[in-house]
Amino acid sequence: MTVRLRRRLLDSLLTLLIPTLLLALLIPDPDGFPFWRGASYSDLLISHWPNAFFLRQSIFKWGQIPLWNPTTLGGGPFAADPLSGLWYPPNWLTLVIPISLAFNLLFWLHLAWAAWGTRRLMRTEGVGLVGGWIAALAFSGTPKFLAHIGLGHLGLVCAVSWTPWVVLTTRRMVDEVCGRSGGWLRWSALTGVTLGVVALADPRWALPAGLLALVYGLRRAVYIHREQGGNWSWPAWRRLLKAGAVTGTSASAMVACLALPLLEFLPLSTRWSISIGDQTTLSLPGSQILGVILPQVSQPEWMVYLGMTVCCLAFMAVLIRAPEAGFWSAIIVGAWLLSLGDQTPLYALFTKIIPGSGLLRVPPRILFMASFGAAVMAGRGLDWVLTGDHDPPEVKKIRLAVIGLMSAVILLISGIWSLTRTISALMLGGYVLAFLTALWALLSFAHRLPRNIIALGWVLLVIVDLMWIDTQLLEVRPSSTSLDERAVLAESLAGEVGTWRLYSPSYSLPYATAVQKSLEMADGVNPLQLKAYRDYMASSTGFSPDNYSVTLPPFPSGEPDRPWGVDLEPAMLGRLNIGYIVSEYPVDTPGIHLQDRLEGVYVYRNEMARPRAWVEELSGEPSSSWRPVESVDWTPNRITIHARGPGLLVLSEVDYPGWMISVDGIQTEGHLVDNLLRGVTLLSGDHEVVFSFQPKTVFLGCGTTLFALLSLAILWVRR
């Protein structure tokens, strides 16, 4: 085995070892669900697991890739929903192995991917082996990753893990352009495809990743031209603009399969008119700034701890003015300022200047950029420590700075203890780590220790630092209990409900449990909700539609099991095929009758519920005179109904662009009923009516994405 092959093998093993250490809690139960410690909810169970289950069911039961999802919120476009996971290829792993195991494997693989990409980037920038791996460990092991794994943010974790690869391909593209090499075209296309993959994983991260690629690329171009002693001539600008155009085009083409349906969906959704106040609800409090170096566990979205040892090494890089330390420092500061949301005018200005940024929520998520920047600088800081060629004045400055930084940490923790007379295990660990980090920094310069010993000491400190906090963030809950919550209630309803929808004003039946029993929910949790549906449900259940909410109904107190003034309209709910209401608390409404109480939940029957499809008079207003259809044959993308006219056939399904209607094989224009439902006029006699979902945006988007992939393959083969 050659030295080069052994090194590559070692790199691969270390890449796989990093996420294994970070996710060690999952090893005893690889099929379990990682939760933020003490949390009641996880998006894995609220969104990702039910979506993956429905996708499997649709493919294996009906032989269809579902473009429409009827299982929650009365139905919505599955292909346009980023949370569906339909368009991000690694998510297809859920089709072949148990879903919860697939999720944990995806987390593991993407943390490894983040580590490998960071290591490759550092090696490209001339950083040594150990410095590169410190950067890889610091980024892939940042507690912010673990916090979002605990929240179940699968798409966000996957998207962020591509960040170093975006920077890496951008760097190579700019090098090719400035070097006037013929490879600029394929590297520009590859950079665009990489950005497109980020957007497929989670469109919310595409904007920060794209902005990072832009500023990094410009910074790299300026650096190269300075090194070459050249001036910014028009030909140089033109080459750079052409590369940027190719990158933007290939990124747009790559993400078209999701972007085109999503662009059709967004103007119809509640997200379209989100206010700056709703965007910044979870802005990072300024008081959390000390959390960068003091390990704290509070709101998971506010996890900002970078690692004490990582901060120390990054601080060294700033003090010695390591290459690009100024650039990454600016990225860190900018990310922090944006994460403060409405506490500074910068975020509002950002949303006005940058197209699409007004649709983002939760400003602290931008702090992933700060984690990445700190990791890069920590790698450069350690690389400088290991060079062994230091000027005495510089070493003295570093010694004093490290002692000052770690002493500040120790004094802060001591101050907290003196005020509260209590100290958490995290703070105690921080106290010890601060002392050990300062001690090892001094030993790294004060004695002639072998470089491999110095390197090993820093690596161990970083591992202990990050694992110490990471193990405090997560707990693993067995899939058997997580997926069977309220299973008795679901089993009972499944035997009675038939084709009726359910509505819960208190989120009493978890979505993951309901979808396993083929129960369709009129309530639900999703950042993207059809505005027409939200408004209809607001009128029929009594909540205010004025403010944006990811839940339907909104829960003003944040606690679903607390009453919020439910005011049900049985007739309106009935037209939406809602036959049962399940609630944590009593609901006193005429026409809604208590039927049972199971697992502490009240089960009510809506006596005014209508079937999934019926025929009523053509009166222009909701009619109390109606008759059921003869039969309904349902699949996700195609619904066939046999009905007798004359009258207005009403299908209790949400209307949406792309639904085509044919009556007896002849395409027919439909009607919008109640500003929400689908309808079609029938003449006298028996008819076969087919509703088929054929969204042009999906088909055009898929064709565009396939063309982008084919073009990239051709460019890469024809070097």
Strand partners, 659: 693
Query: How confident is the model at residue 342, as a pLDDT?
Result: 87
Section 2-24 average pLDDT: 76
Residue-wise pLDDT for 146-172, tens only, equals: 999 999 999 999 999 999 999 999 999
First to last CA, the chain: 30
Regarding whether 279 and 134 lie in a shared domain, the answer is yes
103 and 176 together in one domain: no
Q: How far is CA 27 from CA 90, 112, 149, 307, 570, in A?
A: 21, 16, 15, 24, 49
Q: Are residues 288 and 321 in the same domain?
A: yes
Confirm if 701 and 261 have CB atoms less than 8 A apart.
Answer: yes
Q: Looking at 543, 577, 606, which one is the last position of a domain?
A: 606
Kindly tell me if the per-residue pLDDT of 673 is higher than 80. Answer: yes
Q: Is the CA virtual torsion 327, 332, 338, 343 positive or negative?
A: negative
DSSP 58: I
**What is the model's pTM?**
0.94
Residue 398: pLDDT band (50, 70, 90) is confident
pLDDT at 36 over 60: yes
Paired strand residues for 77? 68
Greatest extent of the chain over all pairs of C-alpha atoms, in Å: 98
Assess whether pLDDT exceeds 90 at residue 399: no
Burial 456-495 (b: 16+ CB within 10 A, else e): ebbbebbbbbbebbbebbbbbeebeebbbebeebbebbee
Give me the mean pLDDT over the 673-682 stretch: 94
For residue 51, being part of any structural domain is answered with no
Do residues 86 and 78 touch, judged by C-beta distance below 8 A? yes
In a domain, 217, yes or no: yes
Positive or negative, the Cα torsion across 97, 103, 106, 111?
negative
Same domain, 282 and 430: yes
CA-based torsion, 373, 376, 377, 378: positive or negative: positive
Residues 594, 618 within the same domain: no
Q: What is the pLDDT of residue 620?
A: 66
Residue 336 banded pLDDT, cuts 50, 70, 90: very high
Is 139 domain-assigned? Answer: yes
Whether the pLDDT of residue 23 is over 90: the answer is no
Domains in the chain: how many in total?
4
129 in any annotated domain: yes
Question: Are 471 and 334 members of one domain?
Answer: yes
Cis bond upstream, residue 70 (ω within 30): no
Is 568 a domain residue?
A: yes
State how far the Cα of 519 lies from the Cα of 181, in Å rounded to an integer: 58
Both tokens of 694, joined, read 């054929």
450 and 501 together in one domain: no
Would you say 604 and 583 are in contact if contact means Cβ atoms under 8 Å apart?
yes
Answer whether residue 42 shows pLDDT above 90: yes
Please give the distance of CA 401 from its chain centroid, rounded to a whole number.
38
Residue 346 shares a structural domain with residue 440? yes
- pLDDT at residue 428 tops 60: yes
Share of the chain above pLDDT 90, in %: 60
Interatomic CA distance for residues 179 and 523, integer angstroms: 57
Question: Is residue 714 in some structural domain?
Answer: no
659 phi and psi, to 5 degrees?
-80, 120
| Cα separations in angstroms, 511 against 181, 239, 430 | 54, 52, 40
Residue 663 has pLDDT above 90, yes or no: yes
Same domain (yes/no): 90, 119: yes
The two three-digit tokens of residue 19, written as one number:
């996420």
**Is residue 187, in this structure, part of any structural domain at all?**
yes
pLDDT bucket at 499, cuts 50 / 70 / 90: confident
- 3-state DSSP call for residue 619? coil
Enclosing domain of residue 650:
613-699
Say whether both 320 and 441 belong to one domain: yes
CA distance to 331, 372, 387, 448, per residue, from 130 (Å): 24, 17, 11, 18
Separation between Cα atoms, residue 451 and residue 289, nearest integer Å: 34
Q: Last residue of a domain, which of 237, 268, 299?
A: 268
Q: CA separation (Å) from 693 to 53, 79, 522, 637?
A: 21, 11, 20, 5
User: Hey, what are 298's tokens?
Assistant: 């509070």
**For the chain, what is the mean pLDDT?**
89
Residue 137, pLDDT > 60, answer: yes
710 found inside a domain: no
Q: Which of 247, 268, 289 delimits the end of a domain?
A: 268
Do the bridges between strand 601-606 and strand 592-598 make them parallel or antiparallel, or are there none, so unpaired? Answer: antiparallel
Predicted confidence band at 551 (pLDDT cuts at 50, 70, 90)? very high
CA 659 to mean position of chain CA atoms: 28
Spatial CA neighbour of 322 closest among 382, 276, 282: 382
Instruction: Quote the CA–CA distance of 152 and 148 in Å, as a whole number.
Output: 6
306 and 382 both lie in a single domain = yes
Per-position DSSP letters for 210-241, written without gaps between them: HHHHHHHHHHHHHHHHHHHT----HHHHHHHH
* Rounded CA separation 218/223 (Å): 9
- Give the phi and the psi of residue 401 in degrees, each rounded to 5: -65, -45
Kindly state whether residues 134 and 229 are assigned to the same domain.
Answer: no
